[in-house]
Each structure stands twice: as C-alpha cells, then as structure tokens.
Structure 1
C-alpha cells in the first residue's frame, strides 16, 4: 500500500511539473518578446508601432480564445487538447524564429498565442482533476509562482540571448522547453474520460465567434494609439459593447452555450472573476507607472530601473508556493481577505511616502502589494476551482485567465490615463520630478480605491454564498 501511495504521489508531482512548465512557457512568451522590440524594429526596418504587433498579436490571440478553448477542452478532452496546444506553441515558436518578414513573424506569434491560450486555460482545470482537494491551494500557488517566474525571467533571459545569439534565439529557446513539456504531459497527465456523443456534437459556434470578436474589439480599443483614446478607440469600444449584448442574447437562447449565464448567479464565481480583474489592474499600475516614477522622480538610469522593477516578480515567485500552503491550512476566503488587505496597505502607503525616501520608499510598498497579490491569487483560484462541476473546469479556468487578461489590458489603459491626468502633462519624458510624483500618488490612490471595492465584493460574495447551491449546481 505504501509503495502504491508513493507511486501515486510521484505521478501527481510529475503531473504538476508538466502543468507548471505549460504555465511557465505561456507567460515567458508574453514577456520575452517585449525586450526584443527595438532589435526587431532595426532588423526589419520597421516603426515601433509596427513591431508592437509582435506583442499585441500574442495578447489578442490569448484574450479572444481563452474561454472558447477552455470550453472545447471540457467537451473533447483536456489532455488531448493540451497536448495539441503545447505542440502548436512549440511549432509556432520555431516559425517565429525563422520568419523572413515582420508580418510572417506577427502571424506566427498569433498562432503561438493560440497555443498559449490552450495551455493557460487548461492548466488550472487539470489541477482540480489531478490534485487532491486538500492540496489544491499549494498547486495553485505553484502555478502562480511559475507564471511570475516566466514574467520575471523573460526580459533578462531575452536580453542575454539577443546579445549573444540574436533575436531569433528568444523563440528557438521554446523548442527544447516545449518538447520537454510535451513529453511530460503525454506521459503523466490523466487520461480523458469518455464524453457522451451528445456533448461531443454540441459546440456553440455563434457564441464563440461573438465572444472572440467582442474581446478583440475591446483589447484593441484599450491598446492601440499608445494611450491616446481617439475616434478609432471609441468606435472599437462601442463595437465591444454591442458585441457583448449580442453575445449575452445568443447565450441565453443557445441549447449548449459557451458560457452558462447561470454561473454568474453564484456569488463565489462572479465575485472571484470581478476581484481578479480589479487586483490585476492594480498590479499593472506598478508596471505602467513604476518605470516613469523611478526614472523621472528618483532619477534612476535604465539599469537600476530594471533592477528595482524586477523586485515585484521576484517576490511573487518566492511567495507563490508558501501562499498556496497557507491557503490549504487557513482556507481560501480568509486568505483572499488577507491578500487584499496586504495590497490595500501597500497601495495606501506608496502615495503617502515622499520622494525623499528614495528607492526603499518604492520597493517596500511594492513588495507588500506583490506578496498580497500572490496570496490573493492562490486563494481566489482555489475558491473558484475547488467545487465546480467537472465538465465546466475548462471554461471556468478560461474565465479566470480572461479576467486577469482584461485586468492587465484595462489596467494599462486606465492607470496610464490616471497617471497622465495626475501629472498634468502630455509628455512624460519631459515632465518635472514633482509632476511625475504627483501622477504616481493619484494612480495609487485610485489603486487603493479599487482594492477597497474588491474587499467589498469579497465580503458580499461570501455573505451570499450560504444561500447559493454549490458551484457545481450553479454551472449546470
């Protein structure tokens, strides 16, 4: 019996290893390309606006498809689809590396983003299936750690590889990592349970198309124009609102909808999605505002700015696994509150500290915010994914990832706009140190308000939870 349990534990560990590598690759694919944009602009003799599509194509593919591929995995089998996603990501990485033109590179990045969407959507879904319930928090914390490691490792690894081997190497690096992930996933992921013919035959094509177009319109509205919200942005945002209305109408009439509207009646699910969007928008503020504040108000050079900025992802990487264990021990709801309180403390302290505190006056609140975020994410993911119906794990995992992506996109646009308003200048490169510091204070004051809203949602969703049925029944 002991040998059997040891074998089972070994299988679970290797399963988690394959899922962790999937999360690492997909997050690395986002961050590693950013550092290569100047080199790509020079290599292809292209403008910065053109090479930005190397990043944007990847982000758009993930945002528009992540819910759909989660639902598709629920229907045809998550193991089968995840293997396809890892293969697609790996092959697309090779196509990126050998692309002879910028537009072929952008097309390959979109395909790579499709594979990453599958990997992101299904990794958390597999945790609920392959990991014992009492260890789900630890597994979620590990996945959060790998995501943070990928985000933190991307710029430094990309810079080293571009300097030593050229820009194509930042995509070739995914080949050995992708093959290793594929072998582990094929060997250790649990075999798909057979699905009924009825479920196999039904896929919400109309809902999938409407959601993809709606999310694409919203993502473009929030990202194009480099922060200038013009007529094109307004038109895209209006199209997204119309698309959302059409999508909800179509889902309410569909026999087998992509997203069951009834799931939003469950306070734990809807609250979890909303809180995830809000807190991710706050984290994005540190990435958007941080470089301007450190260089403009504190006078740091680019190397020191990068060093200070890396402290956030490093803290997230170090606290992810311990945060998951704490969630397993003390419960998801109380640790969600604790994480949000930590983020509120950090977001409140940062605007109050004068610039005379220097680098420590920025790093200490940033560490508090990031550690709180790691704890919240582990707790929130555990709360959402623990008690849901088995055939809905993929789509709900996709919704969780979508909420984070929407938080990143909205946070970059919203917090950037708040920072510009607070600085009272249209050109951040020529703004005075006092103006930059004023913009930072306004930005994190707004961030603190967003965390207060998230805390209220946490209280409300938990207080309404006893009147709900369990999550499984709410997603039927």
Structure 2
C-alpha cells in the first residue's frame, strides 16, 4: 500500500499535533515505537532475580540480559540514524520494528541464557532503529510550529514505558511467567509496524546523501569506542578496577582514531563540522549532563527511602514511580509550551526546575520524611520533562532532511551516555559520601549524608548545563551577526 502524505501545510490554532487522521495515526506509530524501546529496558530489569533462578545463573551472568540490550542501543544508534538518511528512514524504521518484534519472540522462547542474551542484543538493534528514526520522522510528519508538541508526545510515551515497565513486568512474572515479559512486545510490535507502514510518509533522501558510501570504518570505530565506554561504566557494579581503567583507555584511544578517520573520510558517519554549530553542540552537552543527573534519582532514591527513611519495598516502589509518572503527564503540555514561548526559553526554564529540585534534595532534612524527597523529586522530573522536550525541539528544528537521522541518533546517544555515566559516577559519589564500602549496609545517617552530597554534585552539573545554554545562545547570536 502506498504510504500517505503526512505533513500538513497548516495547523489551526490550539489544534492537536496533527490536523488529519493520517498524521495522528503516523504519530501513534512513532509513539508506540518509543514506548516499546523503553519497555524493553524497564520490564527486563525487574525479571533478573527470576531469570537467575530459572537458568541457575549468577547475577553477573543474568545482568547481561540488560547490558546486551543497552550496549546494542548505545553502539548502533548513530549508525542506524545515518543509514536511515542514506537509504530512506521509512524503510529502515519498518525493518527495525520487525527486528525488535521477531527478537522479542526469540527472547520469550530462548531455551538457554546465552541465547536469550543474543536475542536481547538483536532486540537492542531494533530499539536503536526505532529511537533514532522516530524522532527524525517528526520533521516530516508535523508542521514546524507543532514540533514541540510532537516531541513532547514521544517523550511522554518513553516515560510511560519507563513507569509501566516494573509493574507490568512484575504482573507478568507473577502470572504467565518470565517469558511473557518478552512475548508481550510481539502484538505491540505488529501494531506499530502496521501503523508505520500505512501512515508514515515515503522517505526522502538527499541526492548527495543517497549516493554517498556508508562509512564502515567510522561505524566500526564508533561502535567499539562506545562499547568500551559503556562497559567501563557498567561492569564491576560501580567499582573501578584495572578492567574498567583499561576499557576507558581503549575508549579514549578509539575517540581519537574516530575523529581522525571522520576528518579524512569522503562520506563520514558524522561530519566534524556538525559540532561547530553552537546550538547543536551545547544541546548535546546539556542532554548528557542532565541525563547523568536524572540517573541519580534512580541510584540514590531506593537507598535513601529504604535505608534512610526505613520504608518497605512496596512503598519505595510507589514513591519511585512518581518520577516517571510526572514525566509522562508533563511531556505533551511541555511541548505545547515550547511551541508557544520558544524552545530555548523552555530549555532554560526546565534546567532551572531541575537545579531547584536537586538543591532542595541536598538541603532538606531527613526529619521531614517521605514528603521531603517526593516533592523535590516531582520538581526535578517535571523540570526534566520540560527540558528534554524543549532541547530535542531546539536541536532538531533546523536540521536538514539529509541529516535528521544521524543528528537524532547523536542526540539519543548523548542521553544514553549520560545515563550509563550517571549510574557509575553518581553511584560512586554516593558510596564515597556515605563513607562505607557497601551502601546496602550503611546506617540511616550515613545514607542521608551521602544523599545530600550526591545531589549537591548533581545540582552543580545542572548549573554547568545552564551555563552551556547561555553560552551557546550567545555564541550563536554573535555568529549570526558576523
């Protein structure tokens, strides 16, 4: 069936992100793709203890069920974005949804742990494709003045997947069993494929991009570099040993080789000139910094609530779910606000919200109880939702059709690198500030002190992001005036 054109020329004031049924269904397909990619991480995490028992494996072995998925996304997301620019985003997105769906079925049927891990890596490839190209498709699906609303919708679906994953995974494990955690993706994947196939506009390729050769050497170097960095941040469960240092050294070497290779390549994976755009480079830097901060809530939160405040597991889970829930409720309104008041203003406003919440968490005394953590957490998460939507809109606003895929991939990569960095670095800061080698056995006072120091560090990172935003804006204006 021939895909329908999905970019309307005009949007009524106060209307939805799309003005025709075709646009709305196209956005539904893109949103479902984002939901599936986030579910792929959050539902699997809750099943690790069950998988360890089912396969008689250690935690170090079953954690590769999560790591394989994350590593595949991190190492491949830029490459699939560039490939989509070259061969057509619609075709590649449909292939990515198909790979994700088939891999989900293979995960659910896997007879051994290592076959499950292999299928999870394939599932990560499909998720990388969906994450990179769903955002890139916004520019071809909705009018420019409604871009923020569409970006907010995609962010909302990603947050819903993060919030829904633990509870959905727990219900499926308690009911049908762990295999259902992966098999549940199959019907959703089929639905996403049908919507994308029927309603996404035909992919447009820039003439030069279409004729260019795919940068195999650059792709391999980037994948190895990112893989080394991600492993350095994740293996050892937060402890840095010789292996972690060796991996970091390999990542640094790979970065140098990649930059040198791209500068000489006739058709590079990422053109070095891209990073000379101050708005783009500062947008990527801010995304990495703020994602590092957001991971702090996931690293520190459970220990503070359970060890510091003495809450039970059920209450801890309920309090932690407030963050993704707020992000889900804030995403679309944040997009509409960004459309109305401007993406840069709302980027700074979101950063100020995150900074205010982090400062409150670093100063609030433990005696206030759950409210002393929950209220600042809501402020942090709402600020993050506003920032992410506005920053994504700002970065993607002026990107040409021939570069949307790769820029979207780089933007998602900056977020992923921030998350994996936060899990390791902020976890190490928390352990060091708590003054104990094992935070799980630390007393309430040690945990409380560790939390205050860690969120003070997090606040400083957000202030650095604000400085980037202001500096990048000023530099862009000077260049425009020259």
TM-score past 0.5 threshold? yes
Which aligned runs of 4 or more in structure 1 are off by greater than 6 angstroms? 3-7
Cα distance, 1:247–1:134 mapped onto 2, change above 3 Å: same
For residues 312-339 of structure 1, the C-alpha deviation after alignment (integer angstroms, 9 at most, x for no partner) is: 0000000000000000000001101100
Question: Is the 1:14–1:188 contact (alpha carbons within 8 Å) kept by the matching residues of 2?
Answer: yes
Residue equivalent to 1:318: 329
Q: 1:49 is matched with which residue?
A: 60
Contact 1:20–1:146 under 8 Å retained in 2 = yes
Instruction: Answer yes or no: is the 8 Å Cα contact 1:266–1:468 preserved in 2.
Output: no
Partner of 1:305: 316
Task: Using the TM superposition, name which of 125-134 and 3-12 deviates more.
Answer: 3-12
The alpha-carbon distance between structure 1 residues 89 and 469, as it changes in their structure 2 partners (threshold 3 A), is: farther
Question: Residue 305 of structure 2 corresponds to which residue in structure 1?
Answer: 294
- Comparing 7-16 with 410-419, greater Cα deviation is found at 7-16
Question: Any idea what the Cα deviations from partners look like across 1:44-70, whole Å, max 9, x if unmatched?
Answer: 000001000000000000000000000
Please show how residues 207-246 of structure 1 align to structure 2 within 5 Å. 207-246=218-257
Match of 1:71 in 2: 82
Shift of 1:430: 1.5
Q: Hey, what does 1:182 align to over in structure 2?
A: 193
The Cα RMSD (Å) is: 1.5
Within 5 A, what are the aligned runs for 1:70-219? 70-193=81-204, 196=207, 199-219=210-230
Give the TM-score normalised by the residue count of structure 2: 0.95
Q: Deviations over 1:1-38 (max 9, x none)?
A: xx998996221111111100000000000110000000
Summarize the Cα distance change of 1:173–1:198 in structure 2 as closer, same or farther, 3 Å threshold.
Answer: closer
Aligned length: 468
Distance in 2 (CA, whole Å) between partners of 1:365 and 1:30 is 26
The equivalent residue for 1:256 is 267
TM-fit CA distance, 1:115: 0.3
Q: Matched residues in 2 for 1:221 and 1:100: separation? A: 30
Q: Is the 8 A contact 1:76 1:195 kept in 2?
A: no
Structure 1 residues 428 and 5, CA, compared in 2 at 3 Å: closer, same or farther?
A: closer
Measure the CA separation in 1 of the matches of 2:278 and 2:204.
29
- How far apart, CA to CA, are the structure 1 residues paired with 2:86 and 2:19? 27
CA distance in structure 1 between the partners assigned to 2:140 and 2:196 by the alignment: 14
Residues in 1 aligned to 2:478 and 2:214: alpha-carbon distance in whole angstroms:
32
| TM-score, with structure 1 as normaliser | 0.96
Contact 2:86 2:209 in 1 (8 A): no
Deviations 1:167-226 (A, max 9, x none): 000111011100000000000000122554873451111000000000000000000001
